[in-house]
Amino acid sequence: MASNEEGKIMLENLQAVEKLKIAVVEELKADNEKTFDEMSDRIRSMEESISKLLKLNKGAQKSKDVSEKNDSTVQTNSSFFQNTTNVVPEKSVLLKHVFNNVDWYQNDVIHSSEWEDHFNVNWRMLTLRRNKQYLGFFICCDPIAPPEKWSIELKVECKVDGRNQNCVIRAWERCHKTNEAQGISMFLEWEEMKHWYLVDGNLSVETKVTIIETSGFKKEKIRHVRCSNCN
């Protein structure tokens, strides 16, 4: 009997321990779920806070960019008006001419285009054969009503068109104080010019002359007329 009672007590104790273990496991599980829920809530709250901060920063950056863009635009426009206040409109002349029978040029004989009147100045182009080896090219400017002392500073860009879309461009600057022609005495080698740029013995030349500065010429005066009958 004693043995049976002891076995019964042991069984009850084992059952009690098992129940305790189950209770402990359930409690731990509940604690873990609670902890997990708390951590999830905290993470969710942090994500919401971060999202709000990002939106605020993005809005602030956008506002800053717009402000800087406006400031930049205002500054650019301001500098534009400052720069254009004293800008003198460019005065340029475009001269075109076809020099005929260039392959028959005699040494040091001048061949010229017709005079053209631009900005109260007569202009023309001159070509000649120099030392039998080079083609010389020159610009002549002659003011229509020149003062006693005058000068015209020029930038010259000369383009010669040849066969097979070949072209050559030369540029230079000169200050003209007389009506004597100025330019480049060795503009092209003669044989090179004949081979690449003559078309049926003719030479097509296009020259842009830009007036950089003038001196000695009277500036036009602007007269203001007062009209008593004007409204």
CA–CA gap between residue 83 and residue 46 (Å, rounded): 54
Same domain for 138 and 190?
yes
Q: What is the pLDDT of residue 30?
A: 65
Q: What is the pLDDT of residue 115?
A: 96
Which tens digits make up the pLDDT trace of 125-144? 999 999 999 999 999 999 99
191 class by beta-carbon count within 10 Å (0-12 exposed, 13-18 middle, 19+ buried): exposed
Q: What is the pLDDT of residue 220?
A: 46
pLDDT mean over 76-105: 68
Nearest in space to 92 (alpha carbons), one of 126, 60, 116, 75: 116
Quick one: the chain helix, strand, coil %, rounded to 5? 40, 35, 25
pLDDT mean over 108-113: 96
Q: Which of 87, 114, 138 is the last residue of a domain?
A: 87
The answer, yes or no, to whether residue 41 has pLDDT greater than 90, is: no
CATH of residue 195: 2.60.210.10
Q: What is the pLDDT of residue 222?
A: 36
pLDDT mean over 179-186: 95
Domain-located, residue 63: yes
Q: What is the mean pLDDT of the chain?
A: 77
44 pLDDT tier (thresholds 50, 70, 90) = confident
Same domain for 130 and 74?
no
Q: What is the pLDDT of residue 4?
A: 62
Same domain for 188 and 79?
no
Same domain for 24 and 53?
yes
Total tally of structural domains belonging to the chain: 2
Same domain for 83 and 107?
no
The answer, yes or no, to whether residue 123 has pLDDT greater than 90, is: yes
Q: Which of 62, 87, 112 is the last residue of a domain?
A: 87
Domain-located, residue 226: no
**Tokens of residue 230, six digits:** 């004007």
The answer, yes or no, to whether residue 36 has pLDDT greater than 90, is: no
Domain limits for position 115: 91-215
Same domain for 121 and 101?
yes
Same domain for 56 and 139?
no
Same domain for 4 and 56?
yes
Which tens digits make up the pLDDT trace of 14-23? 676 567 667 6
Domain-located, residue 223: no
Same domain for 64 and 96?
no
Domain-located, residue 147: yes
Same domain for 108 and 3?
no
Q: What is the pLDDT of residue 217?
A: 85
Domain-located, residue 206: yes
Domain-located, residue 225: no
The answer, yes or no, to whether residue 87 has pLDDT greater than 60, is: no
Question: For residue 36, how far is the Cα from the chain centroid?
Answer: 61
34 pLDDT tier (thresholds 50, 70, 90) = low
**Tokens of residue 52, six digits:** 């709000």
Q: Which of 87, 104, 127 is the last residue of a domain?
A: 87
The answer, yes or no, to whether residue 100 has pLDDT greater than 90, is: yes
Same domain for 126 and 206?
yes
Same domain for 28 and 121?
no
